DNA sequence: AGGCTATTTATACACTTGCGCAACAAGGCT
DNA sequence: AGCCTTGTTGCGCAAGTGTATAAATAGCCT
């Protein structure tokens, strides 16, 4: 074995490709979320994140000042994605307010919003929010945006029913409905297999309608209110 | 200063007291919860925990096989304490079912159950539950116990109203009410200053009564809880 | 009072962590 | 084609991690 006169270096340097800045940042953020969801904040080390993103750890410092900033940007991205998906169900133009409210509840209580991975991420980050002002701010912005959307739809629904609630009543309804959705979301994420498909959404719609004092629709009609109800299995592991 | 011929050791050994085993374990668990709430799982190191408990790090290994077991026992203790407090509001013997339900909701939406520290702990641990079967089991046991309590009270309330719900209706009510309490609990823990004292409890009680289709009590009467209000008219507003 | 033992301290160790830095090479530019 | 910028790697470092273990001592028992 002639290992002498070896022109090749002892250890070959890793091949790599230069990616666009935005692409790399996005990949790193996604890898960060993956690692946090799987291993928690303590397991999401720079080396693990880099491995997942297909780069080496040193590169992270080229895009983020430090680990903390990476985590903060990852959480901000997560919150943005969550609220965006949640509100997407509200842009049904021709539907009645009540149908839009029902579609909103349904969308929030099915995949991809009901998702173990997303819940793990949410819980992990929110647990640090009280100690990290940056996380707290990212959360509060997302939360208030969400609740304002709820309040707006509720106002439309009640207006369509000829009712004129004052601001404080509206606020209370929004708080309660927000709680119903959040609570059912948690139950679904944590123990999804305990509920049949669509069951959480049905419970949520009924609870919301009871909160607003709406007479229930006919069962056949309430079943097909403009929603896709396809259970996309995007769960990992 | 004659430092020669010094009978005292160069570094004085730390004074300590021997505590009873149960007491030490309890102190260590409490210190662990403190550290997790303040610094998160990553910041809750053995040295930090030991410092908070007033001992040195090595002692922890004398009471727990490893860090993981300490964390698991800490979470189990937390869950036990939470459900214990929550259910404590249900042991009003002479009260009517409806009063007990209202007291249950109220208790769960005020201090000490509405508490930032407890919420941080809950979120931090629950975020790891999907990856750690031991945590998942501790959570599920506490959760199911809680929901069974809810279901039992709901059954009593409806029975007192001469209603005979079947098992599936009962289950749906329990799920919805559990969600209402959980959701409002989160809102209160995360943004307690946004709500006036007692506001969350009032919203919760109203939402729960709406979910169960209970006619609201008269404001003046509802203050002095002790009447059955046998009014057959379930008219609202 | 003095010894015994288990609790507690203190130190060592192998390993991981986030970060800094110099060398390298991918790919656009001329 | 060759150069030059800079995205990217590889490696080192100091601080901190959980664990192992020996040494000390507090406090009960006789």
pLDDT per residue as tens digits for the range B211-224: 999 987 665 544 44
Residues 6+ apart with CB under 8 A from B203: A172, A175, A176, A179, B184
Q: Write out pLDDT tens, residues B93-124.
A: 889 999 999 999 999 999 999 999 999 999 99
Query: In the numeric block, which tokens belong to residue A73?
Result: 């940007």
Q: Write out pLDDT tens, residues B147-197.
A: 999 999 999 999 999 999 999 999 999 999 999 999 999 999 999 899 999
Q: Is the dihedral of CA B38, B42, B47, B50 positive or negative?
A: positive
Q: How far is B152 from chain A (nearest CA, A)?
A: 19
Interchain CB distance below 8 Å, B124 and A127: yes
Chain B residues with CB-CB distance to A41 below 8 A: 40-42
Query: In the numeric block, which tokens belong to residue A176?
Result: 């309660």
Residue for token pair 């941080």: B120
* B79 part of a folded domain: yes
| B228 pLDDT tier (thresholds 50, 70, 90) | very low
The answer to whether residue A156 neighbours chain B at the CB level (below 8 Å) is no
Regions of chain A with pLDDT less than 50: 1-7, 221-237
CB distance B146 to B178 below 8 Å: yes
Q: Nearest 5°: phi and psi at B235?
A: -65, 140
Q: How far apart are the first and last CA of chain B?
A: 88
* A237 part of a folded domain: no
For strand D, is any atom closer than 7 Å to the CB of B45?
A: yes
Considering the domain architecture, whether residues A211 and A181 belong to the same structural domain is answered as yes
Considering the domain architecture, whether residues B81 and B185 belong to the same structural domain is answered as yes
Q: Give the residue from chain A lying closest to B237, CA to CA.
A: A213
pLDDT of residue B222: 46
CATH of the domain at A90: 1.10.357.10
Chain-centroid distance, C-alpha B149: 14
Considering the domain architecture, whether residues B163 and B92 belong to the same structural domain is answered as yes
* A23 part of a folded domain: yes
Interchain CB distance below 8 Å, B178 and A187: yes
Considering the domain architecture, whether residues B42 and B148 belong to the same structural domain is answered as no
Q: What percent of chain A has pLDDT over 70?
A: 87
Residue for token pair 């992270």: A60
Interchain CB distance below 8 Å, A130 and B124: no
Q: How far is A130 from chain B (nearest CA, A)?
A: 7
Nucleotide D24, nearest residue via CA and C1': B13
* B1 part of a folded domain: no
Specify the 3-state DSSP secondary structure of B166.
Answer: coil
Considering the domain architecture, whether residues B50 and B84 belong to the same structural domain is answered as no
Query: In the numeric block, which tokens belong to residue A99?
Result: 């149908």
* B83 part of a folded domain: yes
Q: Write out pLDDT tens, residues B21-69.
A: 899 999 999 999 999 999 999 999 999 999 999 999 999 999 999 999 9
Considering the domain architecture, whether residues B87 and B48 belong to the same structural domain is answered as no
Q: What percent of chain B has pLDDT over 70?
A: 86
Considering the domain architecture, whether residues B186 and B85 belong to the same structural domain is answered as yes
* A8 part of a folded domain: no
Q: Which of A175, A187, A210 sits opposite B179 (nearest CB)?
A: A187
Protein-nucleic contacts, chain A 58-87 to strand D, CB < 7 Å: 58-59, 62
CATH of the domain at A26: 1.10.10.60
Last residue of a domain, one of A64, A82, A100: A64
The CA distance from A236 to B12, in Å, is 55
B80-89 CB contacts, 8 Å cutoff, 24+ apart: B80/B142, B82/B113, B82/B118, B82/B122, B82/B142, B83/B142, B83/B145, B83/B146, B85/B112, B85/B113, B86/B113, B86/B146, B86/B149, B87/B145, B87/B146, B87/B149
Length of chain B: 237
Looking at the predicted structure, is the pLDDT value of residue B3 above 60? Answer: no
Query: In the numeric block, which tokens belong to residue A193?
Result: 């297999």
Interchain CB distance below 8 Å, A120 and B143: no
* B235 part of a folded domain: no
Considering the domain architecture, whether residues A53 and A78 belong to the same structural domain is answered as no
Considering the domain architecture, whether residues A80 and A167 belong to the same structural domain is answered as yes
DSSP labels, A51-84 = HHHTS-GGGHHHHSSSHHHHHHHHHHHHHHHHHH
Query: In the numeric block, which tokens belong to residue A9?
Result: 């270096």
Interchain CB distance below 8 Å, B131 and A203: no
Domain count, chain B: 2
Interchain CB distance below 8 Å, A131 and B176: no
What ipTM is given for this predicted complex?
Answer: 0.86
Strand extents, DSSP E, A115-215: none
Task: Give the protein-side footprint of strand C (Cβ within 7 Å).
Answer: A 13, 15-18, 43-48, 57-58, 61, 66-68; B 11-14, 16-19, 21, 24, 50, 55-59, 62
* B232 part of a folded domain: no
Packed helices B133-160 and B199-212: angle between N→C axes, nearest 10 degrees: 70
What range defines the domain where residue A121 resides? Answer: 71-223
Considering the domain architecture, whether residues B176 and B110 belong to the same structural domain is answered as yes
Considering the domain architecture, whether residues A90 and A188 belong to the same structural domain is answered as yes
Considering the domain architecture, whether residues B109 and B186 belong to the same structural domain is answered as yes
């Amino acid at each position: 074995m002639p290992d002498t006169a070896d022109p090749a270096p002892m250890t070959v340097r890793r091949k790599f490709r230069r990616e666009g800045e935005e692409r790399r940042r996005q990949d790193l953020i996604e890898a960060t979320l993956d690692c946090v969801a799987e291993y928690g904040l303590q397991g999401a080390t720079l080396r693990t994140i880099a491995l997942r993103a297909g780069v080496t750890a040193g590169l992270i410092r080229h895009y983020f000042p430090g680990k903390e900033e990476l985590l903060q940007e990852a959480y901000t991205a997560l919150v943005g994605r969550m609220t965006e998906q949640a509100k997407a169900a509200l842009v049904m133009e021709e539907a009645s307010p009540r149908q839009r409210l029902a579609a909103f509840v349904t969308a929030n209580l099915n995949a991809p919003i009901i998702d173990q991975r997303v819940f793990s991420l949410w819980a992990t980050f929110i647990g640090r929010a009280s100690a990290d002002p940056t996380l707290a701010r990212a959360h509060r912005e997302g939360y208030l945006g969400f609740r304002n959307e709820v309040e707006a739809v509720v106002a439309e629904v009640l207006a369509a029913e000829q009712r004129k609630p004052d601001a404080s009543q509206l606020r209370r309804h929004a708080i309660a409905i927000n709680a119903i959705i959040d609570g059912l979301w948690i139950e679904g994420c944590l123990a999804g297999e305990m509920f049949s498909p669509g069951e959480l959404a049905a419970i949520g719609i009924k609870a919301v309608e009871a909160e607003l004092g709406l007479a229930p629709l006919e069962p056949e009609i309430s079943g097909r209110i403009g929603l896709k109800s396809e259970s996309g299995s995007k769960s990992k592991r």
